[in-house]
Structure 1
Amino acid sequence: MDSAIYALIVNAVVAGLFAVTFGIIRLSYPEQRYASWFAVTYLFGGLMPISELGVRSTPFTIPFMILSYGSFLLSLAMLLIGLASMAGRRRPWRAFTLLVVGGTLVRTAIWNGPNNQLLHELLFQSPYIAGSAMAAAIAVGAVRKRRDPLWLALGITLALLTLYFALKPFFAAAFGSGSDPIAHSTSSYALLSQSVGGVLVVAVGLVTLLLVVQAAMGQSIAESETDPLTGIANRRGFNRQARVMIAEARARGFPVAAILFDLDHFKQVNDRYGHATGDAVLRAFAGVLVDRLPRSAVIARLGGEEFVGLLDRTTLRGAWLSAQSVRATLPAIATHLPAVTVSGGLAVLLPDDDIDSLLERADRAVYAAKRAGRDRILPMPDPVQAEPLSLVRNR
């Protein structure tokens, strides 16, 4: 058994492993739908080395030649769809169609052409060059948008694959690729093609797999840090984001303020209207927080009817105004929901604070607001002691 056969077997096995791996990810993470395209990409890609083995081992070379060319062409076309989906772009069905149809027409036109001649070899490789170049362009576009080093690595790898396809015709013209399918399959050109091409295809698969796993892990983290009822962060997500905000605030020397909200008499809402209505109130209140607090705020539901907003570059006065905006909006939260009020407590970040101590002071302020009659925000900064609520509503 010569080296070329070993290379073909290894490439087929590796392609199969990639197909199975992407398939498992797709089944484990149903939202990662683009993993299906990568599974099919490597499933079809694995048919190419198998068909090359068929050319060597059977007298029926033409069917295997068609399968070899067509399977790899389809795998490149499907790679385009998968990469575009993973990058958040529209699926390039037009490019898919042009690549498959154009590649088929080119291969048909040169079917009986002279091997080892530069023009013939360039035409043979042209669909592969076009497909890998379009895939590289998708990766480069993702790099510009996401600034992700993995997308950069994929773009570089796909560019090398494009260069590889572009150089193959010159190598074939210079050293020969075999005058017929059997001679081709036993030539040094075939060994180089399967070895170098196999390495590059594996590299593309590995980087793509890392991107898919990264997205799946990101999805898992997001789900574990998101409150399923309201869609905002839960306590775990809040703690992680708050640590980042506090670290940046201390590094740059800007203030941070916390607002703790507690819906007043919320148990009565559940008792009187039912838990479905209570859940609707919680969702609506989360929407008010997202709408009324600054976009840079870290907003979370800590549990039950308790919510928090962490505001960067915000003093006590700024936090009070933001909290009052939420409180003033609440009566009009939704016409079909029962009227509710909210009590809020404020705390600003001190030099020796951590998240727990900051929230503890805000929690004490919430209890003070409830003891003072509820439906208010405490403490009140001195400059706004006499400011009418109507002015806050008009801000």
Structure 2
Amino acid sequence: MSGAIYALIVNACVAILFAATFAVLRASYPQQRATGWFCATYAIGLLTPISELGVRFTSTPLLFTATSYLSLVISTLCFTQGVIVLSGRVPPRAVAPAIAAIALVGRVMLDDSTRNTIGYGLVYQFPFYAMLLLCTIIAIRAVRERCDPWWAGLGVVFAVTASYFAVKPVFAAVFGSGETMRDYADSSYALLSQALGGLLMITSALSVLLMIVRSILRSTRVESETDMLTCIANRRGFERRARTAIAAARRTGEPVAAILLDLDHFKQVNDRFGHATGDAVLHAFGQALTCALPPSTLVARLGGEEFVALLRGANLRDAGRAAAAIRAAVARLGPELPEVTVSGGIAELRPHDTLVTLLDRADRHAYAAKQAGRDRIYPALSSAT
């Protein structure tokens, strides 16, 4: 067998592996919608090397010539749609399908007697370099909006692949791609085309796969650090982000304050109204905290009815004002919810404080507020200095 045949077999095996990989990701993480498009890309693209093998070894080359081109166009269209979904951007919906439609019409109109001309090659390769150029533009826009180096790398891969398809007509004209598809299968050009095309296919697949895996890891970490009931950070998420915030504040010299909060007599809410109502109160309080405090504040539920807020750029008096705003927000949780009050303690970061000692001091102040009769913040705003 010629080297081109081996390259076709390798490309078919690679397509199977990537189709299976994206299928597993789609089944395991259905929220990653782009994986479905990439699975379709390589499942449909598998027909291209199979069809080109069919051209060589069957008596119906015309049928396999058509399926080879059609499957490659459709798989490239699926890949482009996958990149669009992955980026979160929605370009004009008709762009990619229009490219595919124009390509198919152009292919039907091509005269195969002109196979080894640049004009023939440009029309033949049009959908591939056009759609990959669209992918490159999407990646560039993602870089501009997010300053994400990963998208920059992806853009480079797309640009190189688009350039490869754009210059293929020149190489076909110079070196000759054969008078027929069967001649093509035996040519040196076919070996180069399949080997380089397979390499770029693997590079593109691995690049988008890395982007998807990164997205999965991010979403998994967000889920593991989010309290599902209140939709704010849990203890794990708070501690990780709070340590980072404190380290940054020490570098810049800005103050940091913490507010530790407990809903008063929350067990009675569960006993009188049921746990469903209690959960609704906790959710409403978590949302009230988020709305009452500046956007830069790190808000979390530490467990049960205990909440915390870490305020960057705030001293003890600022924290006292923020705590007062929280108490006012608690009074407006909603007419369908039982009335609740909150007790809390505030503390400002000292030079030798750690997160543990800062929260411990705020916790002791919260305990003092409960001992003093609840429904208050300690130390009181008037005495916060």
Give, as a single letter, the amino acid of the residue that structure 1 aligns with 2:107: R
Gaps of at least 5 residues in structure 1 are 386-395
Residues 145-189 of structure 1: CA distance to partner in whole angstroms, max 9, x if unpaired? 222222111110000001101111111111111011111111111
Aligned to 1:9: 9
Aligned to 1:288: 288
Aligned to 1:264: 264
Give, as a single letter, the amino acid of the residue that structure 2 aligns with 1:100: A
Give, as a single letter, the amino acid of the residue that structure 2 aligns with 1:109: M
Give, as a single letter, the amino acid of the residue that structure 1 aligns with 2:224: S
Structure 1 stretch 118-127 or stretch 203-212: which is displaced more? 118-127
Shift in alpha-carbon separation, 1:92–1:69, aligned structure 2, 3 A: farther
SS of 2:32's partner is coil
Residues 58-77 of structure 1: CA distance to partner in whole angstroms, max 9, x if unpaired? 12111111111111111111
Aligned to 2:336: 336
Following TM superposition, by how much is the alpha carbon of 1:384 offset from its aligned partner in structure 2, in angstroms? 6.7
Structure 1 residue ranges (4+ consecutive) displaced by more than 3 angstroms after TM superposition: 381-385
* 1:85–1:91 Cα contact (<8 Å) kept: no
SS of 1:259's partner is strand
Aligned to 2:127: 127
Q: Tell me the percent identity.
A: 50
Following TM superposition, by how much is the alpha carbon of 1:136 offset from its aligned partner in structure 2, in angstroms? 1.2
Give, as a single letter, the amino acid of the residue that structure 1 aligns with 2:109: A
Output the CA distance in 2 between the equivalents of 1:32 and 1:90: 16
SS of 2:231's partner is coil
Output the CA distance in 1 between the equivalents of 2:369 and 2:384: 16
Aligned to 1:154: 154
Give, as a single letter, the amino acid of the residue that structure 1 aligns with 2:179: S
Following TM superposition, by how much is the alpha carbon of 1:379 offset from its aligned partner in structure 2, in angstroms? 1.3
Give, as a single letter, the amino acid of the residue that structure 1 aligns with 2:251: A
Output the CA distance in 1 between the equivalents of 2:281 and 2:275: 10
Residues 54-112 of structure 1: CA distance to partner in whole angstroms, max 9, x if unpaired? 11111211111111111111111111211111111237531232022111101011043
RMSD over aligned Cα atoms: 1.4
Output the CA distance in 1 between the equivalents of 2:299 and 2:190: 59
Following TM superposition, by how much is the alpha carbon of 1:201 offset from its aligned partner in structure 2, in angstroms? 1.3
Aligned to 1:322: 322
Q: Number of paired residues? A: 385
Question: What aligned pairs does 1:14-33 form with structure 2 within 5 A after superposition?
Answer: 14-33=14-33
Residues 204-244 of structure 1: CA distance to partner in whole angstroms, max 9, x if unpaired? 10010000111111111111111111111100010111111
Structure 1 stretch 139-148 or stretch 198-207: which is displaced more? 139-148
Output the CA distance in 2 between the equivalents of 1:113 and 1:141: 41
Give, as a single letter, the amino acid of the residue that structure 1 aligns with 2:302: L
Aligned to 1:368: 368
* 2:103–2:123 Cα contact (<8 Å) kept: no
| Pair 1:242-2:242 in alignment | yes
Output the CA distance in 2 between the equivalents of 1:375 and 1:28: 47
Aligned to 1:165: 165
* 1:99–1:131 Cα contact (<8 Å) kept: yes
Give, as a single letter, the amino acid of the residue that structure 1 aligns with 2:137: A
Gaps of at least 5 residues in structure 2 are none
Structure 1 stretch 58-67 or stretch 159-168: which is displaced more? 58-67
Output the CA distance in 1 between the equivalents of 2:193 and 2:174: 14
Give, as a single letter, the amino acid of the residue that structure 1 aligns with 2:141: G
Following TM superposition, by how much is the alpha carbon of 1:139 offset from its aligned partner in structure 2, in angstroms? 1.4
Aligned to 2:116: 116
SS of 1:335's partner is coil
Q: Give me the TM-score of the superposition, normalised by structure 1.
A: 0.95
* 1:161–1:200 Cα contact (<8 Å) kept: yes
Residues 29-48 of structure 1: CA distance to partner in whole angstroms, max 9, x if unpaired? 12112211111111112221
Following TM superposition, by how much is the alpha carbon of 1:371 offset from its aligned partner in structure 2, in angstroms? 0.9
Aligned to 2:78: 78
Aligned to 2:96: 96
Structure 1 stretch 281-290 or stretch 82-91: which is displaced more? 82-91
Give, as a single letter, the amino acid of the residue that structure 2 aligns with 1:77: L
Q: Give me the TM-score of the superposition, normalised by structure 2.
A: 0.97
